[in-house]
Amino acid sequence: MPVRVQTEDFDVSHEVAALRANSPQVGAVVTFIGTVRDMNDGSSVAEMELEHYPGMTEKALQNIVEQAKARWPIFDALVIHRIGPLLPLEQIVLVAVTSAHRGEAFSACEFIIDYLKTDAPFWKKEQTPQGARWVDARTTDDTALAKWKLPDTATGVAK
Amino acid sequence: MNIELRFFASVREALKVAQESVTVPANVKTVGDVRAFLRERGGVWAEALADSRPLRMAYNQEMTGADTAIEEGSEVAFFPPVTGG
């Protein structure tokens, strides 16, 4: 279950091929790709900078993948998250999950990206015509996570 | 006790510090105590680490709450809610 944090771009075909190589038990592969939009919260975005917490990020992503594996009978999962400056249209994140059948692969993939959004220590800063601004966390991300019914302690929400 | 501090994103920018080694007095026993201790520096510290701020905290690189006890040599981090993905 590889987890990678990198500045360089990724090739989805190549990553999926590697993930299911020599694994004839795989019957389903679900991938999610997050990309940079040129608009956010009413402003055009010229560039985005992604900061992270080296060390903690990798542990957090591993933990999220472990939890997905504990919940669904998936074979493998891959998470690649980019850092550094990114332009609109560029790829930010890839989640790929393999399983025997589509149901668990869809669920596990959605769970991983939902959990990543609220728990992995990444932060986005946008360049807009009004200047640079840090992206605010969305309450819709917490709502998305809530449907997986994780215990409060797992979300790291400071009390 | 000596601990390592880490600050990220808007908190790092407000404090103008990314990383710092600090010696805390004996009455600072938890992650929440560290936050309160740093607030006593006043100015941007009082502001960026205020209780009203929706800060996240990590202890030895795991998300945690204010009640987590700290130990010698541990790493305590403060940052805003995460926005990856």
Q: What is the CATH number of the domain that holds B15?
A: 3.10.20.30
The pLDDT tens digits along chain A (159 residues) read 689 999 999 999 999 999 999 999 999 999 999 999 999 988 999 999 999 999 999 999 999 999 999 999 999 999 999 999 999 999 999 999 999 999 999 999 999 999 999 999 999 999 999 999 999 888 888 888 888 987 655 544 443
**Partners of A29 in beta bridges:** A98
Q: Does A84 contact B at CB distance below 8 Å?
A: no
**Can you give the pLDDT at residue B26?**
97
Whether residues B9 and A51 touch (CB distance < 8 A) is answered with yes
**Nearest C-alpha neighbor of B3 from the set B28, A56, B12:** B28
Stretches in chain B below the pLDDT threshold 50: none
């997905």: which residue's tokens? A68
Given the DSSP bridges, would you call strands A39-40 and A43-44 parallel, antiparallel or unpaired?
Answer: antiparallel
Q: How far is B12 from chain A (nearest CA, A)?
A: 11
Q: How far apart are CA B6 and CA B75, in angstroms?
A: 7
Three-class DSSP labels, B43-85? HHHHHHCCCCCCCEEEECCEEECCCCECCCCCEEEEECCCCCC
CATH 3.60.15.10 is right for the domain spanning A3-150: no
What are the residue boundaries of the structural domains of chain A, listed by start? Answer: 3-150
The Cα A77–Cα A63 span in angstroms is 12
Q: Residue A137 and residue B83: Cβ atoms within 8 Å?
A: yes
Most B CBs within 10 Å, among A123, A135, A150, to test the B interface:
A123
Chain B residue numbers with beta carbons less than 8 Å from the beta carbon of A119 are: 63, 82
**Nearest chain A Cα distance for residue B23, angstroms:** 22
User: What does the alpha-carbon distance between residue B32 and residue B49 come to, in Å, rounded to a whole number?
Assistant: 10
What is the distance in angstroms between the CA of the first residue and the CA of the last residue of chain A?
32
Structurally, chain B folds into a number of domains equal to 1
Tell me the two tokens of residue B30.
């938890």
Q: Which of A116, A134, A138 comes nearest B10 by C-beta?
A: A134
ipTM summary value: 0.95
Q: Is B85 inside a domain boundary?
A: no
Residue B15 lies in a domain: yes
- For residue A60, what pLDDT is reported? 97
Task: Judge whether B44 lies within some domain.
Answer: yes
Residue B43 lies in a domain: yes
CA distance B30 to B46: 18
In terms of residue numbers, what domain contains B56?
2-79
Using the beta-carbon criterion (under 8 Å), do B58 and A119 form an inter-chain contact?
Answer: no
